Amino acid sequence: MTAFTDRERHLRELAGELQFSMEKHGDGFTLTRTAQIESPEIESGLTLDQVEDVLRRWKLRGLGGG
């Protein structure tokens, strides 16, 4: 069973709200845009700080990305 920190749990919830999946790979994270788009946006090898920055940018831009 994987134990998540409160921060990681919060970011996973935010990722879901913004239509991203968030996966942990070793010490890094991968964000994949899960919205129905032709070429999903994937960012990998991210730290939690970087995950938070990406999700903040998307939150400000809105779900449409604009």
Q: Is residue 19 part of a domain?
A: yes
**In contact, 51 and 59? CB cutoff 8 Å:** no
Q: What is the pLDDT of residue 14?
A: 95
| HSE value, Cβ hemisphere, 13 Å, CA-based, for 15 | 25
pTM above 0.85, yes or no: no
Q: Is residue 62 part of a domain?
A: no
Q: Is residue 51 part of a domain?
A: yes
Task: Name the residue range of residue 31's domain.
Answer: 6-57
Count of domains forming the chain: 1
pLDDT digits (tens, 9 = 90+) for 17-64: 999 999 999 999 999 998 776 777 889 999 999 999 999 998 887 755
